[in-house]
Structures are given as structure tokens and as C-alpha cells.
Chains A and B, each alone.
Chain A
Amino acid sequence: MKLLVVEDNERLLKSLADYLQDEGFVVSCAADGEDGLHKATNWEYDLIILDVMLPVTDGWTILQHLRQSGSSTPVIMLTAKDQLADRLRGLNGGADDYLIKPFEMEELVARVRAALRRAAGSPSPLRTFGDVSLDTTNRIASLGGIPVDLSAREFALLEILASKHGNIVSRDYLYERLFDDEDESLSNMLDVYIYRLRSKLGKHKIQTRRGLGYIFQS
């Protein structure tokens, strides 16, 4: 899953990015409102974490632009403002959630996952596809009730494929959501992860559609 974090405190931005990457997300960063708005409107993200007080363009303006342009990307606002009026302004302006600084990272991650689940139309953290089940909260996949040992990125790949269950997922789509800009990923990195998933879950679960991408079927 690919997240955009817009936060002007560079220390906090880096800590957030590190933590979220550790949780298996692919994270893009923006340190001011202009950069944030540019990235949010020109790239596709699964969720945006948005600070309110930003140089150049503030968080509210970015949110307004996004919603006016028809984007339905979930947005979680982060802010040091704890007045009711500010919270209402954020939520009524189209934000999906609101977190007041300082916050617990575990809570932020839980809210990010919850917003992603709601956006995918399935609020339950447990999803089952035939004999494969995914616990998206604890990042555990099971095959026929027996947990399968997956790395964070393998689980992330499976999660993306499962979220588009029965549909073809392009390689570009997967690349964007699995690898950072900084990752010196070679184009065969994706093949490596697909190979590993197939060997752990069974070859027929992930089928290749040549020139189009992959399809996950239970």
C-alpha cells in the first residue's frame, strides 16, 4: 500500500516514514504544502497523511483541492490543533480521520489500516479467499488454517493482490505500492516476490497474464 505523508517538521516526517515503512507500507514524503499538493494530485496513493499547519499551502487547502478534483483517496489529518472547530473543519472538509499530536504510532497505523479497509469496502480485518485467509491487523496469512511464514513485503504483495481479488493487477501498480523511490529495485524484484509467494501458497493461486499482470484466485 502506498502512502503520502505531508508534514513540515522534518524530524517527525522521517520518523513517520520509517515507522510506516517498517509496517510494510510504501511511503512518499512531502515537507511543505506545495510539494504535498503536487504529489497528491499527480500520483496515485492509497492514503494520504496530512498535517494541517504547512508552509506555502496549508493542509486544509490541499484537502479542498483533492476533494474538488474528485479524488476519493482516504485522508487522515494530523494536527497540533485540538479545538473542536478545527476537528470539525477537517472532517467536514472531507477528511476520513483526524489525529491530534502527539499520538501513538500504533494508533496511527491502526487508523491507516482501518481507513484502507473502509476504502476497499470491507471493514473486517480478517479476509478469506478459499483456503487462504489474511489477518491484515497482525499481518498473518494462513493456508488451510495453518499460518504461513511471510516477510513484510511478501504479505504486502499478497494483500494488494487479494484486495483486487479476481481482477488483473498490473506490474506497475504493484511496483508503485511495494517499492520506494529510494529502493534500488531492479525490474526482476517483483518476479522474485511473486515466485516466493507462489512457492509458499501454491502455484495456481497467482496466475500470470502475459503483458497485463497478475491475478489472485482462490
Chain B
Amino acid sequence: MKFSSHIAAITQSIKWRVFFYYTLLHLLVISLLIAGFHTYEKQSRIRSRTSEMQELAMRYMPLFFAPGHQGPPNGRGPAPPPPPRIDTRQLKEDVESMEHNGFFLAAIDHDAVVKFRSPTWPTSLNAPPIPEGKPSSITEMPGWILYSHQTAQQDRVIIGTSSVALEQEVRHLTVVAGAIGAAITVITSLVGMLILRFSLKPISMISESATRIAEGDFSERIDTGSQRSELGQLAVVLNKTFSRLEAAVQRQVQFTADASHELRTPVAAILADCQYSLKRERPPERYLETIEVCHESAQHMKSLIESLGALAAFDSKDALLNPTPIQLEDVLLQARQITEPLAALRSIALEVDLQPVQLIADERQLSQAVINLLANAVRFNRPNGTVSLKCWTEPTMACIEVADTGIGVPHELQDHIFERFFRVDPSRSNKSGGSGLGLAITRTIVEAHGGNIHLTSELGKGSRFVIRIPLRPVLLD
């Protein structure tokens, strides 16, 4: 099992596959080279041998056959010249020295009469056939090479030699070349393996890092090494992706922690009071108090859950906007009406200054965004304060302003005020009754409309929120 999985790992590994094909290709090239070398070497040796043989044949030919000898005498024409005088002693010496060099010779005239044959001529070897229309021919036979030269009268001189030694030499050379080729193959394969390992190292590093990230260690990053290589660039891109993932997960974790934090206090209040009331019998008015605690806490949790749901829907892009042409001032008047009771409860005056603005937007969502602002303006106002609601148009934008005469937001906190669960005073959650998500929801809605929201605030004097939304919808996603 383990062995077969090792085999599978090797056969499927890019490194081993590249290595295998690379080595195979290398072997093929080396083999072809050696085969070529073998053929070339053999041919060139045969050629040099035959040129020697040709020389010998040319030298001996006139010794056996007179030049211009016209074949069989036919009684007419000039008398045939006398057969060449052979200096037999000289010839013998010559032939002996030639034979000593591994050659043998035969002279056959046109009547197939063997005029001379070296004593070393192998008995098993017959004379090659007469070459047709050519003065010379080379015949290769197993173990022998014969060179035959003939005159016009078909008198022949045949020089032969053994090719065994030549073939053996070539074979030896080929074996040596093969050994060198094998050595080169081994060395280049090893070097190739090292190069492969080196160039594929980023891949294994990427894979190791990705594994650790998959196991949950989001802080893990790939060592990018050289950023110019293709893999280095891949590593940089992956690292960027991991960073964004980590940030997203971190936000999610923080959001969940914040949400559970917000839910803890109301649940603690319910638990404490219920456990008090259930411990032993209490007067009826105390039970009523417990029910009130439960009711209030449940209301608080309900608004929190609704707000969380709204944000989660925006996060997952479930809350698609439903843009229709709207009269902004009508929507704002409705929002004012909804906030009126809360304002009256805290003796806050709600002033409006609305110009007619026609706009394409999601009426319900935009109304929610403004209600959140108005509710905050009332909650964080001073007693008998004022909240003003205005709208107007700029060349391409619809503008909504909500201003209050409340406590204001310290300058250093103004950047954070739109963050989820952010509160200027962390403990105000219970008294203000808000979920800590109102401004985050408002900003999400405004941005979904392609708009923006800005806060200008002076501590102790009040805050002023301005929403700007494009008159023509530039809806995101």
C-alpha cells in the first residue's frame, strides 16, 4: 500500500515525469549519435582500405596483363604484343610484402584462367562476379572485402583483405563511444535533476504554505524568493490573496465576537432576573418586573439581530437594491414621521427643509439609511435640542443632510464612527438603545447606491451627516 502510493507519487510528480522524459530523450539522441558514428567510422575505414586496394590493383594489373591486349587473337590485325615479362623474383617480393600487410591477390584472365593466386587467398572464398560495365567493383562479404579491377578485355586483378580486424576496431570504438555517452547521460541527468529540483522548489514551497493555510494558520506566507521568476510572481499573487483572505476572516471573527459581545449583557440580565424570581415565591409585582426585564432585553436583542441580518445580507449581496424613480422629499418626510415619536419623547424638535429631488434609488433602503441617522441625531442630542433634515441637488448628486445639536464626535473618532459596533462611549449601548450598527448599515446602503456619506462634527456643538447619491444610478454589482 505504502509502496504503491510511493510509486503513484513518483509517476504523478511533475519533477519525476520531466526527469523521465528528459533522460529518455537524452538516451535517444546519444544512441542515434553512436549509431551514426559507428556507420561513419566503418565506412570511412572501408573507404581508406579500398583506396589502398585500388592502388595495389593498379600496380599489379600491368604485371599480369599487357595494356592494349585485345583479347583473343582473331588472326587478323596486328599481332598481339607479347605477354608482359614478369620479373618473378621482384613480383614475389612485392606480393609477399603485400601479403604481410594482410592483403591477398588473384589475377584471372578473360578465359577465367587463374594466372596467379596468393598462397594466403582463403580457400573458402570464391572470386566475386564480374562487374558489368564497370572497371572496378567493391564487394563486401562477411569477414572479407574484395576489390576487383578489370581491363577492357575482362582480365581481372582481385585484391582482397580481411575485414574482421577492421570491424573489431570499429566495434571497440563504438563501445568506448557508448560508454562515454552513458556517462554523459548519467551526468546530465543528475544535473538536470538538480536544475529541476531548484526550479520546482517554489512550487513545493507554495504547496507547503498552502497546506499550512488550509490547516488554519492564516498568518502563513510563501517565501517569494526571486520575484522576477514566473513562480516568484505566482507566490506574490498568492501571498496577496492570502493576506486578503486573512483580513476577511479576521473581520468575520471580529464581527462575530462583537455580535456575541452585544448579546451577552441582555442575556445576562434575563438570566439573573429569571433565576432570582424562580428561586422562591415572590410578590406578583416582582414577577411583573422580571417579565419587563425579559421584554426589554428581548427587544434589544431583536433589533440587534435585525441589524446583523441586514448587514449580513449586504455582505453576501443577497440584498439586491430595487431602484425605482422616487421623489426624495416624500421619502424623507416619511422617515421624519417615523422618528417623530422618539423625538417627542426626548423633547427634540425635528426641522425639515426639503427641495424637490427626483432620484432613482431603492426607496425602502434609502429610507432606512435616513431613519438610522435621524434616530442617532435624536438619541445623542441634548435635551430640547434640534434635529434638522434637508435635501437638495448638486449637478449630478442628490444630497441629504441630517444635523443635530448634540454631543458631537471627537475628531480622532470620526474615522471609526461608521465601523460596526463602534461607539463613541463604549458603555452607552444600554442607555441609547441602539444596536451599534445603525451607521454601518447607513453607509452600506449609501455605498450600494454608488454614493458616499461624510461627517463633520464639533465636540459639544453637534454633528452633521451629508449623504450624496448620484441622480442616475451607478449601482454597484
**18 additional contacts, CB 8 Å, given A15-B273, A80-B268, A81-B261?**
A9-B430, A11-B296, A12-B265, A15-B272, A18-B273, A18-B276, A18-B286, A19-B272, A22-B276, A22-B279, A53-B426, A53-B427, A55-B425, A82-B257, A101-B267, A102-B270, A104-B271, A105-B272
B297 lies within 8 A of chain A by Cβ: yes
Instruction: Evaluate contact between B271 and A8: CB separation under 8 angstroms.
Output: no
B260 lies within 8 A of chain A by Cβ: yes
Instruction: Evaluate contact between A80 and B293: CB separation under 8 angstroms.
Output: no
**How many whole Å from B278's CB to the nearest CB in chain A?**
10
Instruction: Evaluate contact between B296 and A19: CB separation under 8 angstroms.
Output: no
Q: Which residues of B lie under 8 Å from residue A54 when comparing CB positions?
A: 427
Instruction: Evaluate contact between A83 and B257: CB separation under 8 angstroms.
Output: yes
Q: Which residues of B lie under 8 Å from residue A9 when comparing CB positions?
A: 265-266, 268-269, 430
Q: Which residues of B lie under 8 Å from residue A105 when comparing CB positions?
A: 271-272, 275-276
A16 lies within 8 A of chain B by Cβ: yes
Instruction: Evaluate contact between A55 and B272: CB separation under 8 angstroms.
Output: no
Identify the 7 closest CB pairs spanning chains A and B, nearest first: A80-B264, A101-B268, A15-B272, A15-B273, A102-B268, A102-B267, A101-B264
Beta-carbon nearest neighbor of A78 in chain B: B268
**How many whole Å from B295's CB to the nearest CB in chain A?**
10
Interface residues of B (CB under 8 A from A): 257, 260-262, 264-273, 275-276, 279-280, 286, 293, 296-297, 425-428, 430
Q: Which residues of A lie under 8 Å from residue B297 when comparing CB positions?
A: 11
Q: Which residues of B lie under 8 Å from residue A83 when comparing CB positions?
A: 257
A126 lies within 8 A of chain B by Cβ: no
Beta-carbon nearest neighbor of A9 in chain B: B430
A83-119 interface (Cβ within 8 A of B): 83, 100-106
A10 lies within 8 A of chain B by Cβ: yes
Beta-carbon nearest neighbor of A106 in chain B: B275
**How many whole Å from B25's CB to the nearest CB in chain A?**
59
Instruction: Evaluate contact between A103 and B276: CB separation under 8 angstroms.
Output: no
Q: Which residues of B lie under 8 Å from residue A81 when comparing CB positions?
A: 261
A1-23 interface (Cβ within 8 A of B): 8-12, 14-16, 18-19, 22
**How many whole Å from A201's CB to the nearest CB in chain B?**
26
Residues of A in contact with B, size category? 20 to 34
Instruction: Evaluate contact between B427 and A8: CB separation under 8 angstroms.
Output: yes
Instruction: Evaluate contact between A103 and B275: CB separation under 8 angstroms.
Output: no
Q: Which residues of A lie under 8 Å from residue B260 when comparing CB positions?
A: 82
Contacts A100-B264, A101-B265; is A12 near B279 (CB within 8 Å)? no
Beta-carbon nearest neighbor of A53 in chain B: B427
Docked complex Cα distance between A165 and B37 (Å): 114
Docked complex Cα distance between A19 and B271 (Å): 11
**How many whole Å from A72's CB to the nearest CB in chain B?**
27
Docked complex Cα distance between A103 and B270 (Å): 10
Q: Which residues of B lie under 8 Å from residue A10 when comparing CB positions?
A: 430
Q: Which residues of B lie under 8 Å from residue A106 when comparing CB positions?
A: 275
Q: Which residues of A lie under 8 Å from residue B270 when comparing CB positions?
A: 102
Q: What are 7 contact pairs spanning A and B, CB under 8 A?
A: A9-B430, A10-B430, A53-B426, A53-B427, A102-B268, A105-B271, A105-B276
Beta-carbon nearest neighbor of B267 in chain A: A102
Residue in A8, A12, A22, A82 whose beta carbon sits within 8 Å of that of B261 in the complex? A82
Q: Which residues of B lie under 8 Å from residue A8 when comparing CB positions?
A: 427, 430
Contacts A8-B430, A11-B297, A12-B265; is A103 near B257 (CB within 8 Å)? no
Instruction: Evaluate contact between A12 and B272: CB separation under 8 angstroms.
Output: yes
Docked complex Cα distance between A102 and B268 (Å): 4
Instruction: Evaluate contact between B275 and A12: CB separation under 8 angstroms.
Output: no
Q: Which residues of A lie under 8 Å from residue B279 when comparing CB positions?
A: 19, 22
Docked complex Cα distance between A190 and B455 (Å): 61
**How many whole Å from A151's CB to the nearest CB in chain B?**
14
Instruction: Evaluate contact between A15 and B261: CB separation under 8 angstroms.
Output: no
Q: Residue among A55, A100, A106 with the most chain B CB within 10 A?
A: A55
